[in-house]
Amino acid sequence: MTTLVERGERRARPSRSLRSHRTRWAFVFLAPSLVLFGLTVFYPMARALQYSLYHWPLGSAKKFVGLDNYRRLLVDDGDFRQSVVVTLYFTVLSVLPTILVALFIAVLLNDARLRLRGLFRTIYFVPVVTSLVAVGYVWRALLEPSFGLVNTALGWVGISGPGWLASPDWALEGIVLMTVWRDLGFYMVIFLAGLQAIPREILDAARIDGAGPWRRFRHVTLPLLNPSIMLAGVIGVINGLQLFTQVYVMTGSAQQLPGGPLSSTRSVVIYIVEQTFRPLEMGYGSAAAFLLFVLIMIVTLIQFRLVQRRFEY
């Protein structure tokens, strides 16, 4: 396959002074955003990194402790390790099914023969534009063990539903259920965009070569959808590792602090908030926040290594 550039029409390379001139003006126009980004993102991050090296209960003098906060988190603090496990478990449990189901729905809704496709796409997308807090409260009511709709429906088919958010064994699964339901529409749109970008002629060629629907999906659609799957995976994992709002809304109340019962839903971000703002200890919470940042970086890089592959036909 030849590219546009290889076919000729090679444009003249701009002179060095012109490139430098353009770069300078590009920076001038980027300056407002860079300043804003620097002030609201990089500066707080740098200060948080600085604080993580101190023992600093608010109201007391800061005491430099080097990497001791990190050591305590990694070696001594079983609660932090448990929150990491909860967060990873949630991420795996929510991202995989969401992507699989969203892909399945996207394939169905991409079929030109399906009537009312627009209506179905809208229905699946509605939860995405609904407030996560509102959705959390609705699901909290749905998952109420004795009178909630979910257990009532399970009762109709002879299943005695679990305690959901009241049970340490089921609370996280309840939050996963709500998250899958809410995020489905978002990933569906990503996959629909990916599916519609696959050239028709490639699928037609596969059909002419005798490939059935499953083989066309397995060997043509899926590989060409890889960038979309990669994008969905990365977004899903980052969101999963930053789990906060669902836990805060679904397990917290005026009488109960979020993250329960028995810390079974306490994610890393919930833990950071607890450690920082309950005892007002800035250093320890900042160190936990940086460890989460490193965790997200590592997991995302692993994803890029494992999933990012180029397919061309």
Partner 1 sequence: MSRRVKKSAVAAGFLAIGIAATGCSGQSATEQQGGGGDGDGSGVTISHWQHQSDARAKIVQDFADGYDDASIDVQNIPYESYFQKLGAALEADTGPCVFQLPANILAEFHDRDELAPVPESVMSAEEIESSFTPASIELLNIDDEYYALPTDVQTLMLFYNDDLFEEAGLDPSQDFETWDDLVAAAEKLTKTSGDKMIQAGIDISASPYQWFYSAPTLAYPEGLVADETGDVEYDSEPGYQAWDRLTSLVTDNAVDDPEFLAEQSKFGLGKAGMTFKEFTFTGVYQLTAPDLNFSVHVAPPVTDDAAAPVASTSWSYAVSADCEDQDAAWEWVAHLTSEESQRVWIEGGGELPSRTALLDDESLQGDSNIAAGFTALAEAVPYDSRGWDDAYAIQQEIWDEITLNGTAVEDAVDKGAEAERELYRTKGLLE
Q: What are phi and psi of 63, to 5 degrees?
A: -125, 125
Report 269-288 residues binding partner 1 (CB under 8 A): 274, 277-281
Count of residues touching partner 1 (by CB under 8 A): 41
Under the criterion CB under 8 A, does residue 50 sit at the interface with partner 1?
no
Number of helices (H), then strands (E), in the chain: 15, 2
Taking the C-alpha atoms of residue 150 and residue 171, their distance in angstroms, rounded to an integer, is 14
The least CB distance from residue 248 to partner 1, in Å, is 9
The verdict on 163 binding partner 1 (CB under 8 A) reads yes
Distance of CA 244 to the CA centre of its chain: 11
| Under rule CB under 8 A, residue 215 binds partner 1 | no
Query: Residue 109 or 273: which CB sits closer to partner 1?
Result: 273
CB closer to partner 1, 35 vs 298: 35
Alpha-carbon span 81 to 191, nearest angstrom: 34
Return d(Cα 167, Cα 146) in angstroms, integer: 12
Contacting residue, 1, 28, 119, 157, with partner 1 by CB under 8 A:
28
Tell me the window of 10-18, 141-149, 175-183, 227-235 that interacts with partner 1 (CB under 8 A). 141-149
Decide: is 122 part of the binding site for partner 1 (CB under 8 A). Answer: no
> Which is nearer to partner 1, 184 or 273 (by Cβ)?
273
Which residues are within 8 A (CB) of 304 and not within 5 positions of it... i.e. 6 or more apart? 230, 234
245 binds partner 1 (CB under 8 A): no
Secondary structure of the chain: what % helix, strand, coil (to 5)? 70, 0, 30
Q: Binding mask 52-81 vs partner 1 (x if CB under 8 A, - otherwise)?
A: -----xxxx---------------------
The helix (run of H) or strand (run of E) holding residue 153 is helix 149-156
Residue 183 makes contact with partner 1 by CB under 8 A: no
Closer CB to partner 1, 245 or 300, in the complex: 245
Q: Which of 193, 179, 175, 174 is nearest to 98 (CA)?
A: 179
Minimal distance, residue 262 CB to partner 1, in Å: 5
Find how far residue 164's CA is from the centre of its chain.
23
CA distance 62 to 216: 63
User: Cis omega (within 30 of 0) on the bond before 213?
Assistant: no
The answer to the question of residue 40 lying near partner 1 (CB under 8 A) is yes
CB of 273 to partner 1, least distance (A): 9
- The residues that touch partner 1, with contacts defined as CB under 8 A, are 21, 25, 28-29, 31-32, 34-36, 39-40, 57-60, 140, 144-147, 163-168, 253-257, 260-263, 274, 277-281
